[in-house]
Chains A and B, each alone.
Chain A
Amino acid sequence: MATAIQSQGVVTAARRRSVGRLALATLGWTVLIAFALIEILPFAFTVANSFKCLPAVQSYPRALIPVPPFGVSCVSEEGAPLPARAVSTPTTFNPTLQGYEEIFDAKLPRWFANTTFFAVVITVLRLVFDSMAGYALARIRFPGNRLLFYSILGTMMVPPVVLLIPRFIILKHLAMLNTYQGLIVPLAVDAFGIFLMKQFFESVPGEIEEAAMVDGASRFTMFLRVVLPMATPALTALAIFSFQGTWNDFLMPLIILSGKSDLWTLPLGLSFLRGAYGETLRWHAFLAGSVLTTLPLALIFFYFQRYFVEGISYSGLKG
């Protein structure tokens, strides 16, 4: 009798628990899906509206489904802009490349080439210089090793805004304002990269290097032949972070490259275009520019996703 009641109690408790668990799971799913929509929908609307005629962007921004005819012209045969209703309904729209043509005419290809050049060159230089410095700090004993490491770590605390003005002055005096090297040289080394590489080199066992040392290899040969090939995961993470950071950077190009439109990067070009347009923004062109600015990083992200996630977690900054 007593045991029956007891077991019944256990059963109801278990049932209550499984009901509770189901409720929690449903709640969890709802929260996740809601947030996923909030995070992703703006991008969907951006892509859709970048392929619309301007009146359609203004009247029916929420139309998401492209329907034929594709590649419509946004003006009538007489050259007057077509009304929104002619190329769109509240839910569907006829895609056009008008916005892309307009942003191309605004020198976007030039900005794209500049941004690619800056991102690639700065990333390559950082891979070389950061890994050299990180290796020296992790493995080679020399006077001032610790002091240098902590100084480098300390510079990560200094906000870029503080460095803005003095960097501007120094570059001005070196006649490097509004030049390619003006942006590249100050960014060719970064404290975060050195820190990342040092952490990595400390985590790999030193026996292989010792063996190479016994064989009489110099530090430099060993670094090139033995150490760097082992460091591929860390180098990939560093390359991705640095490419992404440089591609998106706004503050430094704004200070260093503003004066010469031939040197503008994508974020700089888009922001100045926004300033030039004032209140009447040509949204189809802006959204086309936004899509083209994001696309390369999106492709890299989907291809190297694992490294993004690993990089964040093993930069050792976890705690």
Chain B
Amino acid sequence: MATAAPAVRRQVTTMSAKRRQEALAGLSFMVPALIIFLIFLIIPIGAAVYISFTDWNGISPVFEEGAYNYIGTANYSDLLRGYHVDGDRVVAASIRQRDFFIALKNTFYYVIGVVPVQTTLALLLAVIVNQRWLKAKGFFRTAFYFPSITSSVVISLIFMFMFTRGGLVNQALASVVPGYGSGNYVNWLDDPRGVLHLIFGQFGLTRESAGAWAGQRVLGLTGWEWISGPSVTLLTIMMLNIWTTIGTMMVIFLAALQDIPGHVYEAAEIDGANAFQIFRRITVPLLRPTIFFVVTLGLIGTFQVFDQVYVISSGGPAKTTLTVAYMVYQNGFDRSAMGLASATAIVLFVIIFVFTILQRVVVRERAAV
């Protein structure tokens, strides 16, 4: 009896020692990841927020006295309202506001144009590739996926090559479209005209004939500027983006489609559903989580479009390909306004976050109906 008690206690201590040993092992497995995340991810996130409240230029050593001033929300105010209040003085910054809303407008047109098109096309292609009668599934999957493994810089160069004035695209169009010749080639890579403006023009609607609202300034831009649509050059970059990402998204959809058991379709066929009804009533509802995932990927990617703009157009012509991500780079590294650039980046982060959540809510509600 007396001898049993210490034995039990020893066992208890070895148990807790073992647990401590486990905890130690677990943490030591995590150490490299934790250190790198802390220094290059967690601290930077905090730093980005802090810098956005300063006027730091990115050049003067940040830990030295007087390297920067804490200016509160002035950067955010400049971007969103076009002025900030310094003491009892109002400092105008209408160019900052204008640039920001131009970039925001371009980015929104980019996202709205790219995400639905790439998602729909990817889904369509995946559904066709998934058909039982289709041979050569592997070939098509490879062909569609191949562009996604290629560097964005290389893709941009290839598109520039194809879309130059006398390039392949214009030559191909000239051989198909009557009346389209070297005299009236579209200058894809250097055309600031808005696509919607061009379409309105076809119906006789111009800035002059549109009425007073067209000249009204809202958030730094006139009403007519807001409804420009993407410029021809931005449209070219949008096509590039769709062309590149269809493959990845198709593969994701295909994997999800192959998880839908065959008997679900068979049952529907026996019930007399046609191909379209099956797609509408069975495939799409079952794919809802995948659609959410693909759209989220698309939103995050398109809101941050940078590489293609950097290589192809550097924000031009006439700022029509200036995107928010490119503006962050330009302000921070070309114009030495790190504080303003950080504020722009934070605003972009908030926008992406809000859209992802919003999208989630929409998909959820649809699922509930």
Residues of A within 8 A of B36 (CB): 129, 185-186, 188-189
Nearest Cβ in chain B — how far from A69, in angstroms?
25
Per-residue CB proximity of A267-291 to B under 8 Å, as 1/0?
A: 1101100100000010100110110
A32 touches B128 (CB 8 A): yes
Partner among A137, A219, A319 whose Cβ is within 8 Å of the Cβ of B25: A219
Residues of A within 8 A of B157 (CB): 270, 274, 286-287, 289-290
A319 touches B306 (CB 8 A): no
Residues of A within 8 A of B144 (CB): 35-36, 39
Nearest Cβ in chain A — how far from B33, in angstroms?
4
Query: In this assembly, does B214 line the interface, its C-beta being within 8 Å of a C-beta of chain A?
Result: no
A159 touches B153 (CB 8 A): no
Q: Which of B42, B128, B171 gathers most chain A CB within 10 Å?
A: B128
Query: In this assembly, does B251 line the interface, its C-beta being within 8 Å of a C-beta of chain A?
Result: yes
Query: In this assembly, does A142 line the interface, its C-beta being within 8 Å of a C-beta of chain B?
Result: yes
B345 touches A165 (CB 8 A): yes
Asked, given contacts A267-B154, A297-B149, whether A140 binds B26 with beta carbons under 8 Å apart, the answer is: yes
Residues of B within 8 A of A55 (CB): none
Q: Which of these binds chain A: B80-88, B95-103, B203-211, B324-332?
A: B324-332
Nearest Cβ in chain B — how far from A149, in angstroms?
10
Query: In this assembly, does A80 line the interface, its C-beta being within 8 Å of a C-beta of chain B?
Result: no
Asked, given contacts A287-B161, A297-B149, whether A162 binds B349 with beta carbons under 8 Å apart, the answer is: yes
Query: In this assembly, does B134 line the interface, its C-beta being within 8 Å of a C-beta of chain A?
Result: yes
Residues of A within 8 A of B42 (CB): 155
Q: How far is the CA of A254 from the CA of B109 in the complex (A)?
A: 26
B43 touches A61 (CB 8 A): no
Query: In this assembly, does B27 line the interface, its C-beta being within 8 Å of a C-beta of chain A?
Result: yes
Partner among A160, A270, A313 whose Cβ is within 8 Å of the Cβ of B154: A270
Q: How far is the CA of A61 from the CA of B62 in the complex (A)?
A: 52
Nearest Cβ in chain B — how far from A146, in angstroms?
12
Partner among B34, B133, B160, B289 whose Cβ is within 8 Å of the Cβ of A318: B289
B45 touches A163 (CB 8 A): yes
Q: Is the interface of A mostly helix, strand, loop or mixed?
A: helix
Asked, given contacts A170-B40, A312-B251, A319-B290, whether A132 binds B33 with beta carbons under 8 Å apart, the answer is: yes
A318 touches B30 (CB 8 A): no
Q: Quick one: which of A128-165 are within 8 Å of B by CB?
A: 128-130, 132-133, 135-137, 140-143, 145, 148, 152, 155, 157-165
Q: How far is the CA of A6 from the CA of B348 in the complex (A)?
A: 65
Partner among A46, A159, A189 whose Cβ is within 8 Å of the Cβ of B32: A189
Q: How far is the CA of A40 from the CA of B150 in the complex (A)?
A: 12
Query: In this assembly, does B219 line the interface, its C-beta being within 8 Å of a C-beta of chain A?
Result: no
Partner among B19, B29, B39, B252 whose Cβ is within 8 Å of the Cβ of A136: B29
Asked, given contacts A24-B275, A301-B146, A312-B248, whether A266 binds B161 with beta carbons under 8 Å apart, the answer is: no
B131 touches A162 (CB 8 A): no
Residues of A within 8 A of B235 (CB): none
User: Which residue on A lies nearest to B275, using beta carbons?
Assistant: A24
Partner among A141, A152, A250 whose Cβ is within 8 Å of the Cβ of B152: A250
A165 touches B48 (CB 8 A): yes
Query: In this assembly, does A116 line the interface, its C-beta being within 8 Å of a C-beta of chain B?
Result: no
Q: Quick one: which of B99-144 are within 8 Å of A by CB?
A: 121, 124-125, 128-129, 131, 133-134, 139-144
Q: How far is the CA of A294 from the CA of B19 in the complex (A)?
A: 50
A residues lining the B interface (CB < 8 Å): 20, 24-25, 28, 31-32, 35-36, 38-40, 42-43, 45-46, 49, 58, 61-62, 128-130, 132-133, 135-137, 140-143, 145, 148, 152, 155, 157-170, 173, 185-186, 188-189, 191, 194, 218-220, 223, 244, 247-248, 250-251, 254-255, 266-268, 270-271, 274, 281, 283, 286-287, 289-290, 293-294, 297-298, 301-302, 305, 308-309, 312-313, 317-319
| 5 A-B residue pairs with CB within 8 Å | A39-B247, A129-B32, A159-B349, A317-B252, A319-B289
Q: A141-B23, A162-B48, A163-B45 are in contact. List 9 more A-B contacts (CB 8 A).
A: A39-B246, A61-B167, A161-B329, A169-B47, A173-B62, A186-B39, A248-B153, A289-B157, A302-B142
